[in-house]
Amino acid sequence: MYLNADQLPDNTLLQGFDLCIVGAGAAGLAMAKRLAGTSVKALVLSSGLPSDRGRPDAARQAVYRGTIGPFLQKVDAQFLERSRLHMHGGTTNHFGFWSRPLDEVDLRPRPGYRDAHWPFGLDELVPYYRAAHDFGRFGPFNYDDIAFWERVLYARCFPPLPGDSLTGAVMHAQYEESLHDFQVQFADELRAAPNITVLFNAHLLAVESTAGKDHVTGLACATIEDGRAGRRFRVEASAYVLAMGGIETVRVLKLSGDLGDNRKGHLGRGFMVHPLVTSAARVRFSRPVETEICNFFRDQQVRLQPPQTEGGEYVHVSAPLVNPEDIFNYCVFNAWGVLVPKAENLEAEKIGNFRLILRFSPARDEAIVNVNWEQLPNENSAISLNPSQLDPIFGQPVTHLDWRLLDADKRTLARALELCRAYLQARGATAFDLITDLSGGADHWSFAPDEGALATGDHHMGALRMSAGSQDGIVNPDSRLHSVDNLYIAGCSVFPTGGFANPTLTIIALALRLADHLRAALTTMP
């Protein structure tokens, strides 16, 4: 059911729900979809409107204003407002659904801030990854079947050589808006589900809890009307999930009296993005690289016909379809290859994971190397409140984001490029010229407008890290705050480490896992 909070009388108390999910982006909507049609009576608070699509309303987006530290100022001064969208569907309105699951090696410990590793292995996530993968209509869940993707892409990765440190891997993307805008993809199902109420124009201001801050008693909420704070209302449920994105969720916990700060001062620490240098190096070859190899690294549209018989294969079809209706049965998306470190090399190097994209010139004798890598957990990279500046709508302190890197992050980029150089020289590269500046440490980079500038991938991870023990993180392996018995977090902020993969497939997988956990827990609750 769809409802608008504008229609509620001022100071309404909404109660009788098993679950309240706050935030209707990738994580919140994935949970709502999973719970649709179950016995869990869930209320979803969406900050936006049912008609939202594309760009947010400027007045509402102003809630996302904030202040940033000097380093982020140099890299991306607009980061807080540019990299997230305050609207129905959240940031899925801008994303291209670039996807790949984390690798097993990504779940293992990384050096850095406290004990950073995932409290379970990949097996725990795989069933949820499969379901998340279906949201993108990506066909077979076989990212590691390079032979399959080489066939589909009419391509071949560089042939392996003894002593290689790098290997090929595959990425997917879904650029079809009706699939990547989750509020569009799931609208009919959520509107029809008898157990789901989506409440629009609903903004969480603070989470109310017991004196001991170990149990949530309700949510203080408000609407936005004519660009200003509108009517107030309160929500009570048995359990609550905050799914407001990797930065805003932290801000609201801080606005709620540092709720969940189980080891004083750690709430909001360890914030990570995926650093990125689009033009890191230029590589030249003595003669054109084979077309098939260049094809491996090209972002190509693929059209897979689902298996015709039980256990059969997906088949790539390039011929025009005779019956245009058939297109709806096919999986249409994009795929391409990247170079990544072999797991054993990565662990030995004690650096973050990374991926290299090669952009070949039309003559195929030159390529630009694009590097995107894993930031290591860093205590001093943190989200806090800035009480000297208030948001223009609700008048609450804005976010202050002090994103920082470590020397080890610079080392990851340097090592990624060294390994790339060695790999390509063994395959006929005659020159490998750095474009980006590798000298200096954590604060020394090429900054825009230089070619080779450091950029931030728009992924907000780590500030509410998941950990087995309460000494190492904020949420437990069920995504529940260690110190609060009925408050859960969905989204990137729970990632203990980030790998190189774009995070939303993992966000969705974790959200589906949390939905199943809550369904079981709420059904057995007295």
Under the criterion CB under 6 A, does residue 245 sit at the interface with ligand FAD?
Answer: yes
Measured from the CB atom, the residue of 244 and 481 that comes closer to ligand FAD is: 244
Closest separation between CB of residue 53 and ligand FAD, Å? Answer: 12
Stretch that binds ligand FAD, among 44-52, 228-236, 406-414, 465-473 (CB under 6 A): 44-52
Is position 230 an interface residue for ligand FAD (rule: CB under 6 A)? no
Note whether 491 binds ligand FAD by CB under 6 A.
yes
Contacts of 113 (CB under 8 A, 6+ apart): 269, 270, 377, 378, 379
Task: Compute the distance between CA of residue 263 and CA of residue 265 in angstroms, rounded to an integer.
Answer: 6
Q: Is 136 in the site for ligand FAD (CB under 6 A)?
A: no
Exactly one of 19, 32, 68, 90 binds ligand FAD (CB under 6 A); which one? 90
Q: Which two tokens stand for residue 365?
A: 């004798």
CA distance 520 to 467: 22
Residue 106 DSSP symbol: G
Among 346, 331, 380, 414, which residue's Cα sits nearest to residue 138?
331
CA 97 vs CA 60, 66, 113: distances in Å: 24, 27, 29
Judged by beta carbon, residue 326 or residue 478, the one nearer ligand FAD is 478
Handedness of CA 104, 475, 526, 15 (dihedral sign): negative
Choice from 14, 26, 132, 438 touching ligand FAD (CB under 6 A): 26
Q: Which of residues 312-371 bind ligand FAD (CB under 6 A)?
A: none
User: Do 356 and 262 meet the contact criterion of CB atoms below 8 Å apart?
Assistant: no
Selected range binding ligand FAD among 69-77, 193-201, 422-430, 498-506, rule: CB under 6 A: 498-506
Least spacing, CB of residue 82 vs ligand FAD, in Å? 7
* Ordered DSSP codes for 171-201: EEE---HHHHSHHHHTHHHHHH-TTEEEEES
CB burial of 241-274 (b: ≥16 within 10 Å; e: otherwise) equals: bbbbbbbbbbbbbbbbebbbbbeeebbbbbbbbb
Residue type, 158: F
Q: Tell me which DSSP letter residue 396 carries.
A: P
Using the rule CB under 6 A, give the single segment among 11-19, 21-29, 319-327, 403-411 that binds ligand FAD: 21-29
Count CA atoms within 13 Å of residue 59 on its CB side. 11
Return the residue of 23, 136, 139, 462 that touches ligand FAD, per CB under 6 A: 23
* Residues 389, 396: Cα–Cα separation, whole Å: 8
Place of tokens 């932290």: 250
Contacts of 95 (CB under 8 A, 6+ apart): 26, 180, 458, 504
**Least distance from ligand FAD to the Cβ atom of residue 247, Å:** 9
Q: Which of 289, 290, 263 is nearest to 115 (CA)?
A: 263
**Could you report how far apart the first and last alpha carbons of the chain are, in Å?**
26
**In the set 96, 109, 257, 387, which binds ligand FAD (CB under 6 A)?**
96
Task: Determine the Cα–Cα distance for residues 63 and 135; give it in Å rounded to an integer.
Answer: 29
The one-letter amino acid code at 256 reads S
Closest to ligand FAD by CB, 394 or 432 = 394
Distance of closest approach, residue 221 Cβ to ligand FAD, in angstroms: 7
Which distant-in-sequence residues (6+ apart) come within 8 Å of 165 by Cβ? 341, 342, 345, 419, 422, 423
Pick 203 or 298: Cβ nearer ligand FAD: 203
- With binding defined as CB under 6 A, does residue 84 bind ligand FAD? yes
Helix (H, G, I), strand (E, B) or coil at 370: strand
Coil, strand, or helix at residue 326? Answer: helix
3-state helix, strand, coil in the chain (%, to 5): 25, 30, 45
503 binds ligand FAD (CB under 6 A): yes
Q: Is 135 in the site for ligand FAD (CB under 6 A)?
A: no
The residue from 17, 28, 213, 519 that contacts ligand FAD (CB under 6 A) is 28
Our finding on whether 274 is near ligand FAD (CB under 6 A) is no
Amino acid identity, residue 98?
A: W
Query: Dihedral, CA atoms, 190, 191, 196, 199, nearest 10 degrees?
Result: 110
| CA pair distance 335, 139, nearest whole angstrom | 11
Closest residue to bound ligand FAD by CB: 25
Q: How far is the CB of 234 from ligand FAD (least distance, A)?
A: 14
For ligand FAD, what does the binding mask look like between residues 375 and 414, x meaning CB under 6 A? ----------------------------------------
Is position 52 an interface residue for ligand FAD (rule: CB under 6 A)? no
Per CB under 6 A, the segment of 91-99, 112-120, 292-300, 416-424 that binds ligand FAD is 91-99
Total interface residues for ligand FAD by CB under 6 A: 37
Question: What does the per-residue mask of binding to ligand FAD show for 247-266, with x meaning CB under 6 A?
Answer: -x---x--------------
Give the contact letters, 451-490, x = binds to ligand FAD (CB under 6 A), - = no. -------xx-------------------------------
**List 14, 18, 66, 86, residue binding ligand FAD (CB under 6 A):** 86
- 243 lies in the binding site for ligand FAD (CB under 6 A): yes
Question: From the CB of 341, what's the least distance to ligand FAD, in Å?
Answer: 20
| Residue type at position 470 | S
| Residues of this chain, 192-221, that bind ligand FAD according to CB under 6 A | 203-204
Work out how close the CB of 227 gets to ligand FAD at its nearest, in angstroms, rounded to a whole number. 16
Quick one: which segment of 18-26, 226-234, 398-406, 463-471 binds ligand FAD (CB under 6 A)?
A: 18-26
Residues that bind ligand FAD (CB under 6 A): 22-28, 45, 47-48, 83-84, 86-87, 90-92, 94-98, 203-204, 243-245, 248, 252, 458-459, 491-492, 502-504, 507
